Amino acid sequence: DFFYAAEVAKNVTIFFNLLLKTPALNSAQTAKALIQLENICEHFALDQSVRAMITEAEKRDIPWFRIAPKFRDVQFGYGHKQQRMRETLSSKENILATTYSRDKDFSSRLLGSVGLPVGKFVTVANANEAMAQAKLIGFPVVLKPLSGGKGIDVVIGLRTPEAVFNVAKDLLSRSSKLIVQSYMPGDDHRLLVVAGKFTAAARRNPASVTGDGQNTVEQLIRIANTDPRRGYNFYRLMNYILIDEELRRLITDQKLTLSSVPEKGRKVRLRRTANIAAGGDAVDVTDIIHPD
């Protein structure tokens, strides 16, 4: 749209003026300036979900526009048939369903009531209670906030009372309540249903790198992050793989450090959960999904 194009043009002009005024700019400074330009552009950009909808709308000659400058809400069409969208939410969304999906205790009970496997789970409010309930449920377990999304603060595969206590204490510094749930191993799939009909399916894979016998784990992560499909906050197809305490704990469990050089072909897991937000990727499996 005009606002986004105007912002990009303005900042591209600033960038090239900087180059003209500073002819001795070295490669590191140029790279830094380019990153700043990219961040500015992405700040005003629409996320990939909305962009995909815009692409399809344009194919069908459906008009669209950004509702207000600097906001990411988009309107498709006009009048009583108009629809609005923000990220993956649209004006078609059922508010009750959205509310249910954000309450992991209630949504698990709802899924369990129709016969879907959800595993044993309980809601807790302190680390000691989390540890006690984990012992009753049986290890390994999963800890996650009662409310939230995008896999944020979901920790899976905890195998000891001490690990549960420490993780629960950390998570409770950001959430008032947690879910302790039995761990159910398997692949992570997302199914898209439109108007009651199955449309697409994707298998999501946790972030990982594969050893080449030459680079360290940290270098392999940096190489993976050079993929142009990666970025921040869902403006690209994948997010950057960030080095944090969770990542360090996981590679330690694999008897590695950031400075270790994995042998060629060895897969190093960097996240336990298969979330795009945490640097994972997705594979389209629509054509091989079972008809049931």
**Interval 129-140: pLDDT, tens:** 999 999 999 999
CATH assignment of the domain containing 176: 3.30.1490.20
Same domain, 72 and 163: no
- If one compares 277 and 190, the residue with the highest pLDDT of the two is 190
User: What is the distance between the alpha carbons of residues 32 and 28, in angstroms, rounded to a whole number?
Assistant: 6
- Residue at a domain's end among 182, 205, 236: 182
Mean predicted lDDT score pLDDT of the chain: 86
pTM: 0.71
Q: Give me the mean pLDDT over the 99-113 stretch.
A: 92
User: What is the distance between the alpha carbons of residues 88 and 48, in angstroms, rounded to a whole number?
Assistant: 9
Q: Give me the mean pLDDT over the 212-217 stretch.
A: 96
Same domain, 135 and 152: yes
Answer yes or no: is pLDDT of 174 > 70: yes
- If one compares 65 and 37, the residue with the highest pLDDT of the two is 65
pLDDT of residue 237: 77
Q: Considering the domain boundaries, does residue 108 fall inside one?
A: yes
pLDDT > 90 fraction of the chain, expressed in percent and rounded:
53
* Residue-wise pLDDT tens digits, 216-259: 999 999 999 999 888 776 667 788 899 988 899 899 999 999 99
Domain housing 11: 2-84
- Residue at a domain's end among 154, 182, 210: 182
With H, G, I as helix, E, B as strand and everything else as coil, classify residue 234. Answer: coil
* Residue-wise pLDDT tens digits, 19-34: 666 655 555 666 666 6
pLDDT classification of 1: cutoffs 50, 70, 90: very low
Phi and psi angles of residue 154, each rounded to the nearest 5 degrees, phi first: -85, 120
pLDDT of residue 125: 96
pLDDT of residue 140: 96
Answer yes or no: is pLDDT of 194 > 60: yes
> Could you give the C-alpha distances from 238 to 52, 229, 235, 268, 290, in angstroms and in order?
14, 6, 8, 18, 26
Same domain, 192 and 178: no
Answer yes or no: is pLDDT of 39 > 90: no
Answer yes or no: is pLDDT of 68 > 90: no
Same domain, 167 and 204: no
Same domain, 274 and 240: yes
pLDDT classification of 58: cutoffs 50, 70, 90: very high
Same domain, 118 and 79: no
Answer yes or no: is pLDDT of 3 > 60: no
Number of alpha helices (DSSP H) and beta strands (DSSP E) in the chain: 9, 15
Residue 181's Cβ-count burial label (10 Å; 0-12, 13-18, 19+) is: buried
pLDDT of residue 152: 81
Domain count, the chain: 3
Answer yes or no: is pLDDT of 75 > 80: yes
Same domain, 114 and 138: yes
- If one compares 26 and 94, the residue with the highest pLDDT of the two is 94
pLDDT classification of 145: cutoffs 50, 70, 90: very high
pLDDT classification of 47: cutoffs 50, 70, 90: confident
Same domain, 10 and 50: yes
